[in-house]
Structure 1
Amino acid sequence: MVNQNNSTSEVNQSLDSDDKNLMDIAQYLKAVQLGHKRSIPPLQKWQPKHCGKMDLCVKANGEWWHEGQLIRRQALLDLFSSVLWKESGKFYLKTPVEQIEIEVEDEPLFINTVEQVEVENKKYLQLTTTNQDVIIVDAAHPIFMREFQGEARPYVHVRFGINALIQRAAFFHLIEYGELLENAQGDTILSLTSGDLHLQLGT
C-alpha cells in the first residue's frame, strides 16, 4: 500500500528542486548578462500599433542589410537584436509605440561561442550570440536540428519564439562537449548533456 502523504511529499520536493534549479540558472544568467552589459526590454508587456514594413533584412549568413546597405556598426546591431519580436511567423522590431515588420531569411540571432559552466554543482552548456545574449541550454532552451535550403542546421531556442543559428565553428566546439554515437541505421548522432537535459542530434 502506497503512503499518500509520502508520495505527495516526494512530488512537492521534486517541484521545489526544479524551482530551485530554475532560480539558480536565472540568478546565474542575470549576473552574466550584467557582466556583458546586455539587457532585453520587456517586449511581451508592450502593445504597440503595427507600423508597416521596413526595408531591413537579416540574411541567413548573419548579415543585416538596410535599404541595400550592409549595417556594420555592432552597437546598432546589438540594439536591433534586443527588440526583436516574432508574431504569427513574422519578425518585427518592437518598441513601446510601434511594431515594424522586417525580413529574416532564416533566424536573426547567431551563436559564435560555446562553453561549459557549472551552476550549483551541475554542468550546463552555455551559448553566446554575436550580440552577447547568453543562453543556458535547458528544457526551455533546447538545441535542435532543422533543415534550411536542403541543409540540416543546428539551432537553440532563445526567447519570444526566436531561435539562434549555431554557427559552424561553434558547432564543432559543441561536439567537443558531447559524444558522437551511431544509431541502428548507421547515422551519426551527437549526444549532449546540459544539467538534467539529454539531447541527441542527427548530424
Structure 2
Amino acid sequence: MPYQPPPDLASASLLEIADAVAARKLPPLEQWTPAETIDSHMRIAANGQWYHQGTPITRPAMVRAFSTLLLRDEQGYWLVTPQCRQSIEVEDAPFIAIDMQIKDKALVFALNTDELVVAGPGHDLRAEGDADCPAIYLHVRHGCEARLDRSTWLQLAQYALDQGDDLHISSAGQRYSLAPSA
C-alpha cells in the first residue's frame, strides 16, 4: 500500500483531520504477547532522531514504521511484534509535536512521524519542568508521548494568552494547565 501523507494541517478541517486519524491502521499491539525479549540496539534522542547501533536512521519511512510498534510500560519502552519485544532507549519522548492548529475548539498537533493527534480524551496534555524550562507533553498512544518542540510550545502558549485564561487551554472538551506543577 503506498504511503499517504496526512492532510495539510493548516488547510484541513477538523472533520478531514478526524477522518485521516480514523483511517490510519495501526498494529494491534495490545493483542500481542510475545515470549521473546531482546535489545533492539535502537535509541530515540531527545530531538526525535532515531538511531540503530549508534547510526542515525535517515529513512523517514523506517521511522514511521517503527513508531507504530512503540509502547511504554512500567519496565520502559518497547518495539513490539507478535514474536518479540525489543527494548528501545528513549531519551525524553519518542515523538515530537512540530506544529499545532486550532480547529473548531480542538487543538490538533502534527508529529515528526507525519501523524496527527487531536488533544482531548485519550490524548491529554501535561506540563512538566519549571517556569524557566517548561515542557509540554501530549499523550499519543500505548503510554507514549510527544514533546512539543519550542515553536509549537510557543504557539500553544500564545493561544492560551490570547484566550486570557492564565495559561489554561481547552481542547475537545478537556481543560489543561500549561504551567508546570514544580
Give the alignment's TM-score, normalised by structure 2.
0.80
Q: Please give the alpha-carbon distance, in whole angstroms, between the structure 1 residues aligned to 2:71 and 2:150.
A: 25
Tell me the equivalent position of 2:98. 112
Unaligned runs of 5+ in 2: 1-13
Tell me the equivalent position of 1:100. 86
Give yes or no for the alignment of 1:159 onto 2:147.
no
Aligned 8 A contact 2:77 2:89 in 1: yes
CA drift at 1:90 = 0.6
Unaligned runs of 5+ in 1: 1-24, 184-188
Match among 27, 31, 42 for residue 28 of structure 2: 42
Give yes or no for the alignment of 1:31 onto 2:27.
no
Q: Please give the alpha-carbon distance, in whole angstroms, between the structure 1 residues aligned to 2:148 and 2:117.
A: 12
Q: Which amino acid aligns with 1:169?
A: S
Tell me the equivalent position of 1:20. none
Aligned residue for 1:178, secondary structure, equals helix
Tell me the equivalent position of 2:11. none
CA drift at 1:50 = 3.0
Q: Which amino acid aligns with 1:158?
A: V
Q: Please give the alpha-carbon distance, in whole angstroms, between the structure 2 residues aligned to 1:147 and 1:182.
A: 23
Q: Please give the alpha-carbon distance, in whole angstroms, between the structure 2 residues aligned to 1:151 and 1:55.
A: 30
Q: Deviations over 1:89-128 (max 9, x none)?
A: 411111111111111111111101101122xxxx111112
The within-5 A match list for 1:114-153 is 114-118=100-104, 123-147=105-129, 151-153=133-135
Give yes or no for the alignment of 1:198 onto 2:175.
yes
The within-5 A match list for 1:9-88 is 31-33=19-21, 38-88=24-74
Aligned residue for 1:31, secondary structure, equals helix
Q: Which amino acid aligns with 2:173?
A: D
Identity across the alignment (%): 25
CA drift at 1:28 = 6.4
More helix by share: 1
Q: Please give the alpha-carbon distance, in whole angstroms, between the structure 2 residues aligned to 1:140 and 1:125.
A: 13
Q: Please give the alpha-carbon distance, in whole angstroms, between the structure 1 residues aligned to 2:86 and 2:57.
A: 18
Aligned 8 A contact 1:146 1:153 in 2: yes
Match among 144, 152, 168 for residue 150 of structure 2: 168
Select the structure with the greater relative contact order (CA < 8 A; seq sep ≥ 6): 2
Aligned 8 A contact 1:46 1:96 in 2: yes
Q: Deviations over 1:175-197 (max 9, x none)?
A: 232227999xxxxx412121322
Aligned 8 A contact 1:179 1:192 in 2: no
